[in-house]
Amino acid sequence: MKNLIGLILFLLAVAFLFRVDFIFYIIYVCIGLYVWSRWGIPYRLEKLKVKRLFQDHAFWGDKLEIKLRVENGSFLRIPWLEIYDSVAVQLSATRPINTVIPLPAKETAEFDYEVSTHRRGYYRIGPTRFRTGDLFGLYEEHAVELPAQYLTIYPRITPIERIQISSRLPFGTIISKQQLFEDPARPTGVRDFRSGDSMRQINWKVSAHTQNLMVKTLQPAIYLETMIVLNLFGGDFASWDKHANIEWGIELAASLAAHLHGKRQPVGLASNGTDPLQTDSTHPPEFDPTSGRLINQADSAQTLYSLPPNNGRAHLMKLLERLARIETAEVANFNDWLRTTTLPIGWGGTALVITPQADDQLCQTLHHWVRRGINPILIHTEKSNRFYAVKDRARQLGFVAVEVSAPADLEVAFN
């Protein structure tokens, strides 16, 4: 209705030339409506307060509710307000907010919807666009946008009750079967003295009381400094179930990390995959329209990274966050990468090498680690007939190889 200004001018000319005062009344009405449309709507939109409330981190399978609060802070009613919220398709448990409402003055409207957290990843929630206009179409519509926020869904963590992972580091907190690592801080009782027992282990008070030499028995313990090494080279995964195998590898890494954190052991992560948030600024990552996750562009330079072992809740969350975002890469072959990389663990540390498949070259590489004092454990995540050969080769080379292709294999393989 751009012609309204022309109409007002025409009415003015007629009113002055013919001296018809009542036409001024019509002019005032037209001007009033135009002013209401021209300046009233932007004023209301300026006073609009919108907020998105949700937890930006969620564990796999959590029920996550996103709440959108829209408050009309002006003294005038908003006649209609379109709200478009965009959520990744993979997250949609219920319909996102795509609605239109009238919003009275000084009132608040709240919308909530749930998102599905059954896929790990780094997702974008929003942006949410708010658009409004006048009732007559006399002036163009106005819109504001609530910027997008991000949601991290951690990978699924399979609870592990008990697994046996060997270490060469004594004096830890994990009970060990190896008597070599008896911890004097962990007395478990007394027994009769045997020939060859150290004099320092004699419990003199008990011996005096029983009139017989008694020796303290100590619980053996190890200190398990662990580095999880995750192979995410795309070419190493079988094409028939690639996606599931990738996810299982990451899930396994997260489960082991959580278990070790539960045992209060330091755990770190190294991978040849990529974190989209740590790419170079010339090729910023984009959200995949299909999966909704943040992914790297094909030609972007990939940053390989490692998290040195540490313990504590914060470190675990950081590690899980990395695992939530991590994606496969096609550039760094796992074996080549292992040869060139330096693990941030010292002598006696354990390296849990998670890979979909292994060969003799990899075994040779891990053998070098053994010789350097690192305790590698090869975890094979895809079912393969060749694994037995790999397992024999690993035993010959002085390290352990296990096959864990499903959650049920976890405790069986390590015990």
Partner 1 sequence: MSEIITQDPTPETADDEAILTPIEEVQRSNRFSRFVVQPMLIGIMVASIAGAFLSILNSASGRLPWLWMFLPILIFSLEGVYTTIWLTRPDQRLLNKTLYRAAEVLLIVVTVRIYSWWLTNSWPTVADLEVYLRTPSEIFADPFFFASAAILFMAWGWGLVLSEAFQHLALNSAEMRYYNMPVRERPAIERPSTPFRSLAYEQYGRHFILGAVLITAFAALSTIEIADLSSNNWRGIRRLPFPAGMLAALLAYFGAGFSLLSQARLAVMNSRWLYGGLDKTIVVEQSWVRQTGWLLALVGTIAAFLPLGSTTLIGRLLEGLIRLVFWLAVLITSLFAALFAMLFPASENNEEFIPEEFVPPQILPPEPISDLPPAEPGFPIIGTLFWIIAIGVTIAAIAFFLNDRGIKIPMPNWRKVWSAITNWWNSLWRIVVNQAVDLRDAVVTRLVRDEIEPDQNRPWRFIRLNSLNPRQKLRYFYLSTVQRTEQGELARDDSETPLEYAAELKEHLPQVAKEIDAVTAGFLQARYDDKEVTAADVAEIEPLWKTLRKSIKSQGKQKNDPPVEST
Q: Which is nearer to partner 1, 108 or 212 (CB)?
A: 108
- Least spacing, CB of residue 109 vs partner 1, in Å: 5
Q: Of 256, 247, 259, 405, whose CA–CA distance to 326 is shortest? A: 247
Q: How far is the CB of 129 from partner 1 (least distance, A)?
A: 11
**Site membership for partner 1, residue 346 (CB under 8 A):** no
Q: Are 170 and 336 in contact (CB under 8 A)?
A: no
Q: How many other C-beta atoms lie within 10 A of the C-beta of residue 336?
A: 13
Shortest distance in whole angstroms from residue 126 CB to partner 1: 15
Q: Does position 1 bind partner 1 by CB under 8 A?
A: yes
Measuring CA to CA, how many Å separate 155 from each of 194, 322, 352? 52, 10, 18
* CA 239 to each of CA 229, 296, 356, 363, 387: distance values in angstroms, whole numbers, following the listed order: 22, 20, 11, 23, 18
**Taking a C-beta distance cutoff of 8 angstroms, is the pair 48, 144 a contact?**
yes
The region of 135-143, 176-184, 230-238, 303-311 touching partner 1 under the rule CB under 8 A is 135-143
Of 59 and 111, which has the nearer Cβ to partner 1? 111
Q: Is 32 in the site for partner 1 (CB under 8 A)?
A: yes
* Residue 161 binds to partner 1 (criterion: CB under 8 A): no
Per-position x/- string for 2-31, each x denoting binding to partner 1 as judged by CB under 8 A, each - no binding: -xx-xx--xxxxxxxxxxxxxxxxxxxxx-
The residue to which tokens 């090729």 are assigned: 283
Instruction: Tell me: cis bond preceding 159? Omega within 30 of 0 counts.
Output: no
Task: Specify the pairing of strand 375-380 against strand 350-355.
Answer: parallel
Binding mask 70-109 for partner 1 (x = CB under 8 A): -x-----x-xx-x-x---------xxxxxxxxx---xxxx
User: How far is the CA of 352 from the CAs of 345, 370, 397, in angstroms?
Assistant: 12, 13, 16
> CA distances (Å), 128 to each of 98, 146, 214, in order?
9, 5, 74
CB of 116 to partner 1, least distance (A): 15
The verdict on 340 binding partner 1 (CB under 8 A) reads no
Q: Smallest distance, Å, CB 295 to partner 1?
A: 25
Give the range of 110-118, 142-150, 175-183, 257-265 binding partner 1 by CB under 8 A. Answer: 110-118
# residues near partner 1 by CB under 8 A? 55
Q: Which residues bind partner 1 (CB under 8 A)?
A: 1, 3-4, 6-7, 10-30, 32-33, 36, 71, 77, 79-80, 82, 84, 94-102, 106-111, 113, 134-137
